[in-house]
A = this chain, B = another copy of it.
Amino acid sequence: MTRRNLGPAGEAVFDRLTIIGAGLIGSSIARAARKVGAIKAISIADRDEDVIARARALSLGDSYFLSAREAAAGADIVIFCAPVGANAELAAEVAPALKPGAVVSDVGSVKGAVVAAVGPYLPEGVHFVPAHPVAGTEESGPEAGFANLFVNRWCILTPPEGGNAGATERVAAFWTAIGANVEVMTPEHHDLVLAITSHVPHLIAYNIVGTAADMEAVTRSEVIKFSAGGFRDFTRIAASDPTMWRDVFLNNKDAVLEMLGRFTEDLTALQRMIRRGDGDGLFDLFTRTRAIRRGIVEVGQETKAPDFGRQSANDADDAAR
């Protein structure tokens, strides 16, 4: 199922939403849901007192909790917005408080492991609809979120076979209401697609930033000074939340290792072209890859502005000084 966003629905999709984890994604969901009126009341839970205080200061919700269980009591939908590795524990904690007919969802970047970890804890009559909004920035915490984060981004749902179709429909309607396009697929296929579009890119970004940091012949100050040649793009990705990404790699091991194997094979072939001076081979690959970029810009998943529009962001920085 693909559901292209046709604009805001205009009426509440759920009465009461509980968000567990008030970071970049959780706080953005709260802001977006409030903005478009997709929810009547929002409860925010975070086990970190400081985060809850900041969420309250930002008026992200209608009520605030340190206990996930208390926050989940009476909710129509509970969304886990914590690192993937925390989901099993969260499921165990909230399960006794969930009302019959409640929907449980998440925002994890891995789906197979989440389905396996969360499913067994949920009582009969509670509907599990795993979700993954493919959106974010390198920032973390409740202040980093914003209401438009999901606009024109894709949210992938991976409902279990034989699950409640009505629950899936409502979760899809919720994401559509806050601006996302919705796609449904199996957890296994999700994990394969995201391994190549997200997990391996993050891994190699972390890796090259690590390699550069460990150089002796080139100083760290040189790496930083001359980063505009391409390296700085990788550092943005490699500045993403460490806990979230640790959990992604631990929980999508098979697909990541499979894709990493392909990446390494291809890199070895490229290395050989360089060693042998095969200019035609290099030119062919470098020409082929341009087309993918065009496709991404054409479908609106990327700004048309060169250099990501950094120039205008820089001008904004300057203006702010």
Instruction: Please report the C-alpha to C-alpha distance between residue A239 and residue B286 in the assembled complex, in whole angstroms.
Output: 8
Let me know if A6 is at the binding interface, CB within 8 A.
no
User: What residue in chain B is nearest A259 (Cβ atoms)?
Assistant: B211
Residues of B within 8 A of A257 (CB): 271, 274-275
Residues of B within 8 A of A233 (CB): 201, 233-234, 236-237, 308
**Interface hit among A10-18, A48-56, A214-222:** A214-222
A window 263-321: CB within 8 A of B: 263-264, 266-267, 270-271, 273-275, 277, 279, 282-283, 285-290, 292-296, 299, 301-314, 316-317
A228 & B263 in contact (Cβ 8 Å cutoff): no
A292 & B213 in contact (Cβ 8 Å cutoff): yes
B213 & A230 in contact (Cβ 8 Å cutoff): no
User: What residue in chain B is nearest A151 (Cβ atoms)?
Assistant: B314
Instruction: Please report the C-alpha to C-alpha distance between residue A238 and residue B314 in the assembled complex, in whole angstroms.
Output: 23
User: What residue in chain B is nearest A215 (Cβ atoms)?
Assistant: B196
Residues of B within 8 A of A242 (CB): 282-283, 286-287, 290
Instruction: Please report the C-alpha to C-alpha distance between residue A180 and residue B248 in the assembled complex, in whole angstroms.
Output: 41
B308 & A262 in contact (Cβ 8 Å cutoff): no
Whether A226 touches B277, Cβ cut-off 8 Å, given contacts A201-B233, A267-B264, A305-B316, is: no
Residues of B within 8 A of A316 (CB): 303, 305, 309, 312
Instruction: Please report the C-alpha to C-alpha distance between residue A302 and residue B239 in the assembled complex, in whole angstroms.
Output: 13
Instruction: Please report the C-alpha to C-alpha distance between residue A209 and residue B296 in the assembled complex, in whole angstroms.
Output: 12
A313 & B317 in contact (Cβ 8 Å cutoff): no
Q: How far is the CB of A88 from chain B (nearest CB, A)?
A: 15
User: What residue in chain B is nearest A188 (Cβ atoms)?
Assistant: B217
Instruction: Please report the C-alpha to C-alpha distance between residue A249 and residue B137 in the assembled complex, in whole angstroms.
Output: 32
B283 & A138 in contact (Cβ 8 Å cutoff): no
Whether A253 touches B230, Cβ cut-off 8 Å, given contacts A200-B208, A286-B246, A293-B236, is: no
Let me know if A63 is at the binding interface, CB within 8 A.
no
Let me know if A134 is at the binding interface, CB within 8 A.
yes
Let me know if A75 is at the binding interface, CB within 8 A.
no
Let me know if A139 is at the binding interface, CB within 8 A.
yes
Whether A312 touches B310, Cβ cut-off 8 Å, given contacts A271-B260, A290-B238, A292-B235, is: no
What 1/0 mask marks residues of chain A from 162 to 201 whose CB sits below 8 Å from any chain B CB?
0000000000000000000001000001001110111111
Instruction: Please report the C-alpha to C-alpha distance between residue A250 and residue B276 in the assembled complex, in whole angstroms.
Output: 9
Let me know if A245 is at the binding interface, CB within 8 A.
yes
Let me know if A153 is at the binding interface, CB within 8 A.
yes
Query: Can you list 13 A-B contacts (CB < 8 A)?
Result: A109-B229, A137-B306, A138-B293, A192-B217, A196-B218, A197-B229, A225-B299, A227-B296, A232-B301, A235-B296, A242-B283, A309-B310, A309-B314
